[in-house]
């Protein structure tokens, strides 16, 4: 993998799209994106998406929720290139913009977004409190933070299955517990903080992923990765089922607002 390609190289993107659908590097597709922004009126709103990947979530926010403008940011240039190509193809370049950023503070002025959205990307960012402070800073007064993130179900020592999953994954993951996440959002200054567990939905999703990758999608997976790497990927997907059953991995929705 080259430095340019970062953690999400072409092979990995193709694997994730095989599993989760075109444009998506995280599970649940358009329905899950809609659940994250449930109850918000996004029409005409200015949205920031932190860790936009190849832009599938953002396309849905514009097409299905009529968001006025979405700025998707990501640290990996090849993802930004693909997201831009997708926006061009969709004829939505005015409303869907993508920018490569460096990890760390956001380079936007205070109070400039109506909504900050993020889907399964904050797991890559270790300093959660600094991150939430930045999110709060760039939100307009009364603005909303809506995200999903992969959290750690327990602060205890990871099980052998969890350790093996991390080894196979080889991604820079920094997971906090739901309690620490809520505390960090509150400490950052957010109001109406909610951390909503998605255990049942996610467990079913993980089981479906494992079944598909070892069944109907297996040949496609071998085509993308070769047999040995495909088998390792199937193992990793099965381990994900186990660590969710054990309560060690628990994706949650995060909701909070900035004081008006
Ligand atoms: C699991 S993918 C999810 C992508 C997209 N949100 C989706 O659901 O399809 C996580 C994304 O976070 C990005 N990422 C990692 N660290 C980041 C950071 N510090 N700032 C912004 N994005 C980051 C990765 O490059 C990757 O595109």
**pLDDT per residue over 28-46, tens digit each?**
999 999 999 999 999 999 9
Q: Read off the pTM.
A: 0.96
- pLDDT, tens digit, 9 for 90 and up, residues 155-168: 778 889 888 888 88
Ligand 1 centroid to Cα of residue 26, in Å, is 9
Mean pLDDT value across the chain: 94
Ligand 1 centroid to Cα of residue 44, in Å, is 24
77 C-beta closer than 6 A to ligand 1:
no
- pLDDT, tens digit, 9 for 90 and up, residues 103-149: 999 999 999 999 999 999 999 999 999 999 999 999 999 999 999 99
Kindly report the protein residue whose alpha carbon is nearest to atom 24 of ligand 1: 51
Q: What is the pLDDT of residue 155?
A: 75
59 C-beta closer than 6 A to ligand 1:
no
Query: Could you tell me how many residues make up the chain?
Result: 260
78 C-beta closer than 6 A to ligand 1:
no
Ligand 1 centroid to Cα of residue 114, in Å, is 20
Ligand 1 centroid to Cα of residue 125, in Å, is 9
Least Cα distance to 134 among 162, 103, 172 occurs for: 103
- pLDDT, tens digit, 9 for 90 and up, residues 85-103: 999 999 999 999 999 999 9
pLDDT band at 3 (very low <50, low <70, confident <90, very high): very low
117 C-beta closer than 6 A to ligand 1:
no
Q: What is the pLDDT of residue 5?
A: 47
Ligand 1 centroid to Cα of residue 49, in Å, is 9
């Amino acid at each position: 993998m080259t430095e340019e390609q970062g953690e999400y190289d072409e092979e990995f993107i193709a694997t994730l799209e095989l599993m989760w659908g075109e444009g998506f590097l995280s599970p649940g597709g358009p329905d899950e994106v809609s659940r994250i922004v449930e109850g918000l009126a996004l029409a005409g709103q200015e949205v920031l998406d932190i860790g936009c990947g190849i832009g599938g979530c953002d396309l849905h926010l514009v097409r299905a929720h009529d968001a006025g403008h979405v700025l998707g940011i990501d640290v990996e240039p090849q993802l930004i290139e693909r997201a831009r190509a997708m926006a061009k193809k969709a004829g939505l370049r005015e409303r869907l913009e993508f920018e490569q950023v460096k990890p760390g503070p956001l380079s936007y002025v205070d109070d400039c977004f109506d909504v900050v959205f993020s889907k399964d990307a904050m797991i890559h960012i270790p300093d959660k409190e600094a991150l939430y402070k930045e999110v709060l800073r760039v939100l307009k007064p009364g603005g909303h933070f809506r995200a999903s993130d992969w959290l750690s179900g327990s602060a205890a020592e990871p099980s052998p299955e969890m350790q093996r999953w991390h080894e196979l994954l080889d991604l820079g993951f920094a997971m906090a517990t739901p309690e620490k996440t809520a505390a960090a959002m509150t400490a950052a200054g957010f109001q109406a903080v909610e951390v909503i567990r998605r255990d049942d939905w996610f467990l079913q999703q993980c089981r479906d992923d494992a079944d598909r990758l070892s069944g109907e999608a297996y040949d496609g997976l071998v085509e993308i990765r070769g047999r040995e790497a495909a088998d390792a990927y199937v193992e990793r997907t099965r381990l994900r089922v186990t660590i969710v059953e054990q309560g060690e991995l628990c994706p949650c929705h995060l909701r909070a607002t900035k004081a008006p």
